[in-house]
Structure formats: C-alpha cells, structure tokens
Amino acid sequence: MVKISVLQHDLSTHLPTRPGDPTPVQRNLNPLMHPFSRARERTRALNAAKMDRMFAKPFIDSLEGHVDAVEVICRQPGSLTTLASGSWDGGIILHNLSTRNHIVKIPQAHKGKVSGLCFSETDGGKLLSCGVDRNVKLWSVSGESESLETPLNVFPGKAAFKSTPISNLTFPTSSETITSVRFNMSEPSVLASTGSDRTFTLYDIRTGKAERRIIMQMQTNALAWSPTFPTTVLMASEDHNLYTFDIRKLDTPSMIYKAHVAAVMSCDWSPTGTEFVSGGWDRTVRIWKEGKGHSPEVYHTKRMQRVTSTVFSADARFVISGSDDGNVRIWKSKASEKLGVVTARERAAMEYREKLKERWMVDKDVERVVRFVNIFLFDAPFAQINQANQQTQGDDAGCKKGQRREEKTAYAFWGKQTQAGEEEGGHCRTNVKIIFNPWSSLYWTLEVHSKVFYMVMSSG
C-alpha cells in the first residue's frame, strides 16, 4: 500500500495580521546561504541616503501679514496650530498653521517694534506683549476680532507693574541691560538671564539673589532651557557659535556648535530635547542634533533675510522662523519627511531605511551623501557676477570695434583720445577687483563700473 505524506502550512503565517500591514516574508538568516547580503545592504543604505537628498524639500509655506521685520515668535501652550508673531511695525498676528490663515490681527498693538510675546500658561486665551514704547499689554485672543482693538490691561512706565514685586533680583556689580530671561521648566524658582555686558547669570527666587555668574567672550542674544535635561541651557552668541552649559559646572561649556558665519540671534529646543533650531544674521535656519557640534541641516531661500526668531512646533515636526523681510516661514524639521497620511507599510520602509543609514554611516560614500547639503547661499551675488561678466564681454567687443575704426580714420568719435584702446568719458575696460575686507573674513567685494557687490563667503 502506498503511503502519501502531506506537508501542511498554516495560512496565517503567510498573510498580514491586519489590513495594511506588510506581507510576512520567510527568510533564512544563515549568512553562509547569502554571500552577497552585506553588499546588497550597503547598496540599499547608499540608495536610502540618496533618496533622502533627492526628496529633501523642507520649505512648506510663508505666512504673510507683517510689513516690517518679524522680531519675536511664540507658540500657544497646548495647541499644535496656534502661533503668535510680533513685528517692528508694532503689529501682532495670531496664525493658524494648519489653515495658514490669520486668527487675530492687531495692526497697532505697540508704538514701535514688539520686543516680546508670551501666552498665559493657565489660560491660553491671554497674550502678554511688550514693546519699545515701554508698555506691557494684556490681550484676550479667544474672543471676537472686534473686541481686540483695545487690550484688557496696560501696564505703562518704567516699572510696568506698580504693585510690590515678589522678589527683586539684582547682581550687585551689574548695571547693564538684560536682554533675555528664561525660567527653568522643571524648577520654577530658578531663572537665567543674559545681559549686554556679556554675562550669563543664574538666580534663585527663594534666596532672592544671584547664585552664579559667568562672563562670555561676546554678548549672548538668546537662551533656552532643555525640556528633557533640566540642568542644560543653550545660548546663542554673537561670536557665530552656540553653547550648551551644565549649570552644575559653568567653568566650561559641555558642547560648542559651530557652523553659522554671522551672529546667532535665536535658538529653541525641540519638545523631544534631542535637537534644537537656530537662526542668525547669515540668513539661514539650522537644525542641530544635541551633542553634535557640526554639520547641521541648513535651510535658506533666496528672499529670506536675516533671521531674528526661530521656534519648534509642539509636535516637533515643523520649524517656524521669522526674518527681516516680514515673513513667517514654515519648514519641515526633517527635510525629506512625507506630509499627509502614511500607511503602515510606508512607515516600516522608512524606519528600515533610517536603520540602514545609521548602520552604514561608517562607510565613506554613505557618510558623504548624508553630510552633503545642496544649498546656495549666494544666489543674488552670483547672478550679479554673471551679469557683470556679460557686460564685460560686451564692453570688450565695443573696444575692439573702436580700435578697428581708429585704424581707418584718425578721428576719435567717443571722446578725447588718450591711449590706444582707452578713452576719457567712456569705459572701454571694466575695472573688476576682488578685495579682501580687513574687518571681517566673511565678506569680499566685486567692483564693476563703480558698482560694489558683496559676497558672503561660507567657511563651512
């Protein structure tokens, strides 16, 4: 009698457990059976790094409405979409990031520029603003637009609040202007300040005095406390660098971040605490990894001018920047991230590519592609140089034509003749010079027909 053996497999092991999940694949993990697995994996890692650069489109949109430079930006606590911005024109605008419309617009909130904005932590519908007119104003941004013409309260004068202060914190030997103040997120009795005298000072409300103080090499423009490490503080300096300090040991910075080529004007931590954003007078927005002091992500557009304020969104997916051109711009924190609905299969593929890049970062080709930044910081100057070169070629052709005329006739038509090929009152030869600026290593000048063009030379 013939016996027949049947091999039976469970169907559930070959089908996805839920709709949308990837189909299970049976694999033999024995490395001897796959001699080319490492070569294939390296090729996949290199392709993943290239695809990230190919699909890197960080810019999303620009929020208009201000007619002058945007000085300060703050996000509303507990909201993913509400954002407030203040400008040099004295106006305040509340933006909705999802619809990209204006929720509230107060055109003349202050006389002069708005220097500070802050939402109430307990009541998100209250907004505090201050300006160079030496007034602090309280606004209600949750009502109708008609009720926003006048603030709820105005605190005028040199001392804004006339009631007795809870604590008066003063460093005995300091008489300079305080430029920024930030409370610690985990310890509300500890706050830090920076001043125009290049100082960074830590205060304790419980003792009512300054606890520690250091003097930097140059002035600090902004500071931010880490949301995940309460003892870490980030500072943006005039010397083109950012510094992180551990307040338990202020002798030396824990890390120095170098990439900006001009003064850093703003900084803000991501809610995850793993990265932060900075903006400066070099017209760039840079996103840094915490603990990595070089090679940040660089965002820039042709029309964006000096960046004065930067902030992360509450979900850490977007970066918002304000600049001198009066625009509030929205960027993706990850340049190649896909917006919209992402299926489980797409998410698994993206996570696999990220792990491949992390594993193969030791490979020089993969590292070169990951570190490559395809950005042009000198669009306008290069366009002017090309235009100058074209004008130079045209002038040279005109001079040759004039020389041929001089050979035929002894009369100079273009003015008093001085030397062969030159003339007074005309410009046969274009004077092109490259001149080094002795005051800064960042600027060069190009002189064409008494016109001076400036080029910002990046050292990164």
Nearest to 323 by CA among 266, 372, 367, 373: 266
Q: Which residues contact 229 (CB under 8 A, 6 or more apart)?
A: 273
How far is C-alpha 69 from the geometric centre of its chain's CA atoms? 16
In this structure, the answer to whether residues 177 and 49 fall within a common structural domain is no
C-alpha distances (whole Å) from 414 to each of 399, 409, 424 are 11, 13, 8
pLDDT given for residue 222 in this prediction: 94
C-alpha distances (whole Å) from 338 to each of 55, 343, 346, 455 are 9, 11, 10, 35
Query: Is 342:349 a contact under the CB 8 Å cutoff?
Result: no
In this structure, the answer to whether residues 194 and 288 fall within a common structural domain is yes
Measure the CA angle with vertex 63, ends 61 and 64; round to 5°.
135
Tell whether 206 is covered by a domain.
yes
* Stretch 242-266: mean pLDDT: 94
Query: Is 371:52 a contact under the CB 8 Å cutoff?
Result: no
Tell whether 282 is covered by a domain.
yes
* Stretch 228-256: mean pLDDT: 94
Strand order in the sheet with 153-155: 114-119, 126-131, 136-140, 153-155
The dihedrals phi and psi of 443, each to the nearest 5 degrees, come to -120, 140
Tell whether 230 is covered by a domain.
yes
pLDDT given for residue 152 in this prediction: 87
| Distance of alpha carbon 112 from alpha carbon 90, whole angstroms | 5
Q: Which residues contact 351 (CB under 8 A, 6 or more apart)?
A: none
Token pair listed for 205: 């409300």
Domain count, the chain: 2
Nearest to 86 by CA among 128, 117, 132, 127: 117
Give the best-scoring range by mean pLDDT among 10-14, 158-162, 402-406, 417-421. 10-14
Strand order in the sheet with 92-96: 70-75, 82-87, 92-96, 101-106
Token pair listed for 238: 């005039």
| Whole-number CA gyration radius for the chain | 30
| pLDDT-based confidence at residue 425 (cuts at 50, 70, 90) | very low
pLDDT given for residue 390 in this prediction: 52
- CB neighbour class for 174 (10 Å; exposed up to 12, middle 13-18, buried from 19): middle
Q: Does residue 87 sit in helix, strand or coil?
A: strand
In this structure, the answer to whether residues 204 and 260 fall within a common structural domain is yes
Tell whether 189 is covered by a domain.
yes
Tell whether 194 is covered by a domain.
yes
Question: Does the pLDDT at position 266 exceed 70?
Answer: yes
* Cβ count within 10 A of residue 439: 7
In this structure, the answer to whether residues 48 and 188 fall within a common structural domain is no
* Stretch 205-229: mean pLDDT: 91
Tell whether 297 is covered by a domain.
yes
In this structure, the answer to whether residues 368 and 318 fall within a common structural domain is no
How far is C-alpha 15 from the geometric centre of its chain's CA atoms? 45
Tens digit of each residue's pLDDT (9 = 90 or more) over 379-403: 333 443 344 455 445 555 656 665 6
Token pair listed for 457: 């030379």
* Cβ count within 10 A of residue 447: 15
In this structure, the answer to whether residues 323 and 178 fall within a common structural domain is yes
pLDDT given for residue 167 in this prediction: 67
Mean pLDDT of the chain: 80
In this structure, the answer to whether residues 286 and 369 fall within a common structural domain is no
How far is C-alpha 180 from the geometric centre of its chain's CA atoms? 19
Tens digit of each residue's pLDDT (9 = 90 or more) over 298-351: 999 888 999 999 999 999 999 999 999 999 999 999 998 988 899 999 999 999
* Stretch 107-135: mean pLDDT: 87
pLDDT given for residue 166 in this prediction: 66
Nearest to 209 by CA among 244, 169, 247, 172: 169
- Domain boundary at 321, 345, 376, which? 376
| Distance of alpha carbon 412 from alpha carbon 118, whole angstroms | 72
Range of the domain at 372: 38-56+363-376
| pLDDT-based confidence at residue 456 (cuts at 50, 70, 90) | very low
pLDDT given for residue 215 in this prediction: 92
In this structure, the answer to whether residues 317 and 199 fall within a common structural domain is yes
Tell whether 349 is covered by a domain.
no
Tell whether 426 is covered by a domain.
no
In this structure, the answer to whether residues 176 and 282 fall within a common structural domain is yes
Q: Which long-range contacts (CB under 8 A, 24 or more apart) does 176-185 make?
A: 179/219, 179/220, 179/221, 180/220, 180/221, 180/222, 180/223, 182/223, 182/224, 182/225, 182/233, 183/225, 184/225, 184/230, 185/225, 185/227, 185/230
In this structure, the answer to whether residues 215 and 275 fall within a common structural domain is yes
Q: Flag whether the pTM goes above 0.95.
A: no
Question: Does the pLDDT at position 441 exceed 60?
Answer: no
In this structure, the answer to whether residues 252 and 311 fall within a common structural domain is yes
How far is C-alpha 56 from the geometric centre of its chain's CA atoms? 16
**CB half-sphere exposure, 194, CA atoms < 13 A:** 22
Q: Tell me which H or E stretch contains 391.
A: helix 379-408
Token pair listed for 359: 């594993």
pLDDT given for residue 10 in this prediction: 81
- Domain boundary at 348, 376, 404, which? 376
Identify the residue whose tokens are 């027909």: 449
DSSP one-letter code for 140 = E
In this structure, the answer to whether residues 258 and 368 fall within a common structural domain is no
| Distance of alpha carbon 85 from alpha carbon 118, whole angstroms | 10
Question: Does the pLDDT at position 420 exceed 70?
Answer: no
| Distance of alpha carbon 132 from alpha carbon 111, whole angstroms | 7
Supply the CATH number for residue 280's domain.
Answer: 2.130.10.10
| Distance of alpha carbon 333 from alpha carbon 312, whole angstroms | 8
Q: Which residues contact 299 (CB under 8 A, 6 or more apart)?
A: 58, 59, 284, 285, 286, 287, 319, 321, 331, 335, 375
56 or 409, greater pLDDT? 56
Token pair listed for 126: 């209250």
